[in-house]
Structure 1
Amino acid sequence: MKDLFKLPMNLQFFAEPGEGNADPNSNGGNEGGQHQDSPEERKFTRAEMAGIIAAEVKKATEAIVQKKDEEIQQAKTEAEKLAQMNEDQKSEYERQQREDALVKREADITARELRAQVTVQLTEDNLPVELVDLLNFSDADSCNDSYQKVKDAFAKATGSFEEAVQTAVNKKLAETVDTPLGNGQSTSSNNNPWSKESFNLTEQGRILTEDPERAKLLMQQAKNKK
């Protein structure tokens, strides 16, 4: 129901008679006296707003009633089941109910703890935290197993993309590494000022100044050779 109050409203409908100086016959400055509200400017009368609110209240009330009916029916079924049991059966049934509730509560606690731990682990592994929703939190072993599978699948998918990018970079390097620079000199793959064999700070500074993009490519090439 909170969203209802985001609807545009014409406050003039809530004004007392005589308040405001708006003229209902005014053309609002439009030529020919024609004025049509766009869908975003849809104005609601008090009656329309009351109808919308009433519909939402009815929907919420029906949901509450349905849930309550389900709880009553469940309690009735439990009572009928207990009525057909002798004392020993009742005691065993109630003991089993308590054990089931305890197991469920412990499972919920375990799941919350594992989820918190995995969220931290995803961050440390530079993986999207949204992957947490794909994991199995029934127990630690299942969680670890599902984490590794999701991690491997994600690495495989992103790795394929990164390999494609790296291939494109290498191709660009191969095409441009012997291209003359501004002064007519060239820098071959064996004369890369960022490489270990040809390290040269002066040449690095010159290339960074004259051709920053080429400098990036050469730095990437030197990095790949390490």
Structure 2
Amino acid sequence: MKDLFKLPMNLQFFAEQDDEQETGADDENQQQDPPERKFTRAEMAGIIAAEVKKATEAIVQKKDEEIQQAKTEAEKLAQMNEDQKSEYERQQREDALLKREADITARELRAQVTVQLTEDNLPAELTDLLNFSDADACNDSYQKVKDAFAKATGSFDEAVQAEVNKRLANSADQPLGNGQSAANNNNPWSKESFNLTEQGRILTEDPERAKLLMQQAKK
């Protein structure tokens, strides 16, 4: 037993192994969970100061513009006599009142048009194409937009129906011909040749063609 305790031990070897294991574990942790960016108090103070400076500069710029506008207004008034000043101030008040009334009118017309679009089954986005300067202009622009939308939609529906008719006429397994009567005579969903058995067969074998036949029968 005494000889066992006298065996030479390479303590440096074990120390290096422990260091390598700890280093490997640290590298693995860094790859799996990258450290979150943390700001010091000084960095946070710098960020806040920069944002405050930006906001302050914007306020100062707006204030300078208002001061310059007021200065220009004062210089203009200084060159006028009393009658001209009275007329100018009256015109300014009238313009401000007209602008306020126009804003109110536009809001009211927009609200009315939104309801009308819903009743006419039209998309609400069409409001952006309308003229809200007054009721007459709004009604005129609304009718034009409505007609244009209906025309475009109708053209699209006609194109779809034409394609449906073409596919029905060119059906390989059960040609329907080019005429409406020929189509109905071979269409198990039509009144002329209503057939539940044939309907079931087509629904099973060719669901897409069945949809086209059902749509054709509704014409």
- CA change 1:28–1:118 in 2 (3 A) is farther
Q: What letter corresponds to residue 211 of structure 2 in structure 1?
A: K
Gaps of 5+ in 2: 1-21, 176-181
Counterpart-to-counterpart distance in 2, 1:155 and 1:89? 54
Query: Which structure has the higher relative contact order (CA within 8 Å, separation 6+)?
Result: 1
Gaps of 5+ in 1: 1-22, 181-187
Counterpart-to-counterpart distance in 1, 2:27 and 2:123? 52
Q: Percent of aligned pairs with the same residue?
A: 84
| 1:45 Cα offset (Å) | 2.4
| 1:108 Cα offset (Å) | 0.5
- The answer as to whether partners of 1:195 and 1:222 remain within 8 angstroms in 2 is yes
Counterpart-to-counterpart distance in 1, 2:93 and 2:62? 23
1:100 to 79, 95, 100: 95
In the alignment, structure 1 residue 84 sits paired with structure 2 residue 83: no
- CA change 1:162–1:61 in 2 (3 A) is farther
Q: Find the structure with the greater CA-based Rg.
A: 2
- The answer as to whether partners of 1:27 and 1:35 remain within 8 angstroms in 2 is no
Structure 1 equivalent of residue 108 of structure 2: 113
Structure 2 equivalent of residue 123 of structure 1: 118
In the alignment, structure 1 residue 45 sits paired with structure 2 residue 45: no
Structure-to-structure mapping, 1:131-142, within 5 angstroms: 131-142=126-137
In the alignment, structure 1 residue 61 sits paired with structure 2 residue 56: yes
Structure-to-structure mapping, 1:1-226, within 5 angstroms: 27=26, 29=28, 43=37, 45-46=39-40, 48-176=43-171, 178-179=173-174, 189=183, 190-200=185-195, 204=199, 207-208=202-203, 211-223=206-218, 226=219
TM-score (norm 2): 0.68
CA RMSD of aligned residues (A): 3.4
| 1:154 Cα offset (Å) | 3.3
Counterpart-to-counterpart distance in 2, 1:146 and 1:42? 57
Q: What letter corresponds to residue 39 of structure 2 in structure 1?
A: T
Counterpart-to-counterpart distance in 2, 1:162 and 1:209? 28
> More helix per residue: 1 or 2?
2
- The answer as to whether partners of 2:168 and 2:212 remain within 8 angstroms in 1 is yes
Paired positions, count: 189
